[in-house]
Amino acid sequence: MPITHPHQRYSVTGYREEETPEGELVWSADLLRYGQSFGLVGNRGEGGPDDFTFTDENYGSEFVTAARELHPDVDRPSDVLVDELVMIRALNSLDQVAYCLAGDEFEEFGEHRLAEPGVSFTEVRRELATRFADRSPRIWDKNCSAMVPVLPEATE
C-alpha cells in the first residue's frame, strides 16, 4: 500500500471512550496526517454521525475528499474511514496475533479472532495455512496494517 493511501497517510491517537449513565458509548480521538495533528473526531453516542473539528481546514478538506474517494458508495465516508483507522490502531497495538476466517465479518464489524498469547505471527500463519486452509484464513499483518490472505505456501 503506497504511503499516500489514506490508511497510511492518516491515523488516530489518544482514543478515549466512556459510557454515559444512559448506557451510550461516547468516544473521541485525535486525527493525524503523517503523524501531525490536524483535528479531532468523536461521537456523543446518540447514534448520529461523528463530529469533526479540524484545526487545519486544508487537511480537513483533504481528509473528507480522501474518505469520499475511498468509500464512494456509503452515506458517511469520513465516519467509515475513522472506523477503519481506529481498528488499524487497535489491531497494530495488540500483543497477540489477530486473524479471521471465512464467515467472520471483519470488513463489516471488525470481527476477528486472537491467537493464544505468546504464539508468533509465523506460527499462527503456519497453523492457519494447514488447519484452516478450507476457510479462507487471513492474518493481521502489522507491517502493512491489513488483514492479508494466508496462502498454502505459508507452511514452508
Q: Give the whole-angstrom CA distance, residue 74 versus residue 69.
A: 11
* Residue percentage of the chain with pLDDT more than 70: 96
- The residues facing 12 across adjacent strands are 31
Residue 155: is its pLDDT beyond 50? no
Q: Give the whole-angstrom CA distance, residue 36 versus residue 34.
A: 6
* Residue percentage of the chain with pLDDT more than 90: 79
Quote the pLDDT of residue 49. 93
Quote the pLDDT of residue 87. 92
pTM comes to 0.84
Residue 5: is its pLDDT beyond 90? no
Which of 4-8, 11-15, 131-135 shows the lowest per-residue confidence on average (mean pLDDT)? 4-8
Per the listing, cell 492474518 goes with 139
Burial 112-144 (b: 16+ CB within 10 A, else e): beebeeeeeeeebbebbbeeeeeeebbbbbeee
On whether the CB atoms of residues 49 and 76 are closer than 8 A, the answer is yes
Digit-coded pLDDT (tens) for 46-72: 778 999 999 999 999 999 999 999 999
pLDDT bracket for residue 1 (50, 70, 90)? low
Residue 156: is its pLDDT beyond 70? no
